[in-house]
Amino acid sequence: MKTLLVLASLAAALSLAGVASAAGDGAIVTNDAYCIDASPFAVWCSSVRLTTKLTTTPSGNTTLATNGTSSTSATFPLFGCTQTVTSPEHEVWLMREGELVAESRLMSSTTTFGCGGAVLTCTTRAALHYANGDVQIQRYDADCTSE
């Protein structure tokens, strides 16, 4: 069941991100960016750059690794405000005979909001490692600074 959830979340991410193309090494590269201009009130932009590689060994183990960055921004010209969120991603899943054996995720997100000369930047970081049916590492921290 966990394998299905992992694969479903990956499929959803790739389908939402846009067109994926195969690179020379068999990896799936997702590289999509767009903006929506709702002038004069706001401009929303999104960018996704991910590389996903699926490897199956002769012993039947399957590794799925995803690395990349997603980012969004919103600009409100009428008010002179902007917000950006940047999230590097690193996720690895190991499956044996269709069952999830191990999962590792290193995630971070930096959010910057500026308005009227004031800027607030918050960074969150999370690490998760799941193996042999147990969460072995789970860390989370966040900090914010203002200018």
pLDDT at 14: 39
CB 108 within 8 A of CB 120: no
Binning the chain into helix, strand and coil, the percentages to the nearest 5 are: 10, 70, 20
pLDDT at 2: 38
CB 100 within 8 A of CB 2: yes
CB 81 within 8 A of CB 109: no
Phi/psi for 61 (5° steps) reads -75, 145
Domain locations in the chain as residue ranges = 2-146
pLDDT at 75: 94
* Beta-carbon count within 10 A of 68 CB: 19
Report the number of secondary-structure helices (H) and strands (E) in the chain: 1, 8
pLDDT means over runs of 10, the chain (147 residues): 35 39 66 88 94 89 93 91 94 89 92 93 92 84 92
